[in-house]
Amino acid sequence: MLDSIGWLATAIFASSYFFKSAATLRRIQAIAALLWIGYGVMIHAMPVIVANLVVASVALYSSLRAPVEAAESD
């Protein structure tokens, strides 16, 4: 069961590359990172937890901020 979470996170992360929208790709990657965080907590692996906290934070931030092109045209 525990390994299943890690494999699911891997599959979700890999599938993110099939999305054309950069924002969608990053949101899917953030979801995968959240699964990896849960997996890291369950196996008590601090490097997995911290690395994926960084990935999830950056992915969510970059997917929610206004695109640079839109901000420049204002």
Tens of pLDDT, residues 2-59: 899 999 999 999 999 999 998 899 999 999 999 999 999 999 999 999 999 999 999 9
Specify the pLDDT at position 31.
96
pLDDT grade, residue 64 (50/70/90)?
confident
| pLDDT score recorded for residue 74 | 47
User: Model pTM greater than 0.85?
Assistant: no
Spell out the domain ranges in the chain: 2-73
Non-local CB neighbours of 6 within 8 Å, separated by 6+ positions: 36, 39
